[in-house]
Amino acid sequence: MDNAQYHPHPPHSNTYANTTPPAEPTNNNLLIYQPLHPTMRTLLDPEYIAFHDSCIQYLVPDEHLHSWNSPSRSSPLSTLSEGGGGGNGNGNGPCRVGLVRDVQLERCRVRIFVPAGSNCSSTGGGGGGGEQGVVVPGKYPVLYWLHGGGWVTGGLDSENDFLMYLCQTSQCIVVTIDYRLAPEFPYPNAAEDAVEALVWLLKEAPKYYAMDLERVAIGGTCAGGNLAAVLVLEAACLFPSFKPVLMLLIVPVIDNTALPGEGWYNLHSPWLTPARMLWYRRMYLPHGNGRDERYPERENWQTSPNLAPSKILSRCPPTWLAVAEYDLLATEALAFSSQLRASGVQTTVKVYPGSTHAILALSGVLSKGRELMLDAAQALNSAFWPIRMDPLLGWTLCSS
């Protein structure tokens, strides 16, 4: 159901500080680094509150570290932040797919998931690294996915359970990309890697995998949602004949000019706080924050897709957008859906009440996260198999 007219208005303070509060000791001698703001306890999903109190509040935020380096990506919060998909949507462990293959491109790697029961067999290597092909009766639609992690964390192992679930449930080949990460590789490296992988997908991958390029969806979550939206817009300019059938965005970053009180209003939202989002942004776009004529990259639709002109937005495919009610990014996502509709793009929005930015990352423990997984699969099914019966009911799906 499209409930995009629901606009969250949680309480917020005008005295918000963009710093992480100092750790507070508890009775069990554990330090609390991320206390849940009292005003949020009556608003958030009780399942999330319980998990936050038992786990998340004790994790040291990335932006709270004294310095950042590659090993920091193994910190508990970074690892938890990049995780997505807790199994098969029923809480019974990950799906089983027919084939998982990594392919090295010039600047990045991609990972391919092929559904089980696809009669996988070798057709030789080529096309970027000796991958093996698949022989199937017919061709599969394709989901091209970009992982989350604030452009700083994540990789090919991010959201694997979620992607295997979509692969099997929606009977599609899934391609995900290990784009280069900030701060070592700031903008535009990740966006360039996304284009490189798309070129490979369109020109090389069909030689080795049974892909139907008439049925391609592009999607992502968090920073990956930003990269996915930017890629869709760039593809409309670079490859006019390429027509994706769906843009699938889950709690995406849309507006890199937003600031507390200027686009961000869920200021006490846990997990993705204003301080953390600004920290991610500084890593990816290291030339200051906010609206400043000295830093035009922030007011470029290649970093803030909401700034694209209507003429370009109108070329977007039908879009499915998942919004967590108390996500810091909820307002910009809802505003973007309105822009797409005003540009003539069929847009469906699902708002998940009481949820936070962590909804997908915690789908292994939160029922609302599993609901999101089911909804995303249904959106893909509708785009990929519009004349078939509901695959969620008509096919044998994931088993643990």
CATH of the domain at 317: 3.40.50.1820
Give the residues across from 219 on adjacent strands.
145, 248
pLDDT at 316: 98
Same-domain check for residues 194 and 252:
yes
Q: Is 377 part of any domain?
A: yes
Q: Is 12 part of any domain?
A: no
Q: Is 163 part of any domain?
A: yes
Q: Is 218 part of any domain?
A: yes
Percent of the chain's residues with pLDDT above 90:
70
182 close to 190: Cβ distance less than 8 angstroms? yes
Same-domain check for residues 104 and 160:
yes
Residue 269 scores a pLDDT above 80 = yes
Averaged over 82-86, what is the pLDDT? 52
pLDDT at 117: 78
Radius of gyration in angstroms for the set of CA atoms belonging to the chain, rounded to a whole number? 20
Same-domain check for residues 265 and 333:
yes
Question: Residue 217 belongs to what H/E stretch?
Answer: strand 211-221
For residue 254, which phi and psi values (nearest 5 degrees)? -115, -40
Residue 174 scores a pLDDT above 60 = yes
The encoded tokens of residue 65 equal 């570290």
Determine the Cα–Cα distance for residues 113 and 336; give it in Å rounded to an integer: 30
Same-domain check for residues 273 and 359:
yes
Same-domain check for residues 180 and 248:
yes
Residue 285 scores a pLDDT above 80 = yes
Residue 214 scores a pLDDT above 80 = yes
Q: Is 97 part of any domain?
A: yes
Task: Grade residue 253 by pLDDT with cuts at 50, 70 and 90.
Answer: very high
Same-domain check for residues 53 and 177:
no
Q: Is 233 part of any domain?
A: yes
Among residues 69, 102, 126, the one where a domain terminates is: 69
pLDDT at 101: 97
DSSP 367-390: HHHHHHHHHHHHHHHHHH-TTS--
Same-domain check for residues 86 and 152:
yes
pLDDT at 13: 36
Least confident range of 104-113, 125-134, 158-167, 313-322: 125-134
Same-domain check for residues 119 and 51:
no
Q: State how far the alpha carbon of 217 is from the alpha carbons of 141, 220, 281, 368, 385, in Å.
A: 8, 10, 26, 23, 12
Determine the Cα–Cα distance for residues 330 and 229; give it in Å rounded to an integer: 16
What is the four-CA torsion angle of 329, 330, 333, 334, rounded to 10 degrees? -160
pLDDT at 138: 76
Among residues 12, 43, 69, the one where a domain terminates is: 69
Same-domain check for residues 354 and 305:
yes
Residue 379 scores a pLDDT above 70 = yes
Averaged over 348-370, what is the pLDDT? 97
Determine the Cα–Cα distance for residues 74 and 72; give it in Å rounded to an integer: 5
pLDDT at 390: 52
Same-domain check for residues 140 and 259:
yes
Give the residues across from 221 on adjacent strands.
250
> What is the DSSP pairing of strand 246-250 with strand 140-146?
unpaired
Same-domain check for residues 62 and 92:
no
DSSP at 185 = S
Averaged over 234-248, what is the pLDDT? 96
In total, how many domains does the chain have?
A: 2
Determine the Cα–Cα distance for residues 44 and 84; give it in Å rounded to an integer: 20
For the stretch 43-80, pLDDT in tens is 999 999 999 999 999 998 876 654 566 655 655 554 55
The encoded tokens of residue 23 equal 């750790």
Determine the Cα–Cα distance for residues 299 and 95; give it in Å rounded to an integer: 41
Report CA 388 to chain centroid distance, whole Å: 27
Averaged over 187-201, what is the pLDDT? 97
Q: Is 9 part of any domain?
A: no
Bigger pLDDT: 31 or 132? Answer: 31
Could you tell me the residue range of the domain that residue 123 belongs to? 81-385
Task: Grade residue 10 by pLDDT with cuts at 50, 70 and 90.
Answer: very low
Percent of the chain's residues with pLDDT above 70:
74
256 close to 281: Cβ distance less than 8 angstroms? yes
Same-domain check for residues 189 and 106:
yes
For the chain, how are helix, strand and coil distributed in percent, rounded to 5? 35, 15, 50
Averaged over 237-250, what is the pLDDT? 97
Among residues 69, 92, 123, the one where a domain terminates is: 69
For the stretch 24-46, pLDDT in tens is 555 567 899 999 999 999 999 99
Residue 210 scores a pLDDT above 80 = yes
Query: What does the mean pLDDT of the chain come to?
Result: 84
pLDDT at 237: 93
Q: Is 266 part of any domain?
A: yes
Residue 133 scores a pLDDT above 80 = no
Averaged over 385-391, what is the pLDDT? 66
Least confident range of 109-123, 146-160, 272-286: 109-123
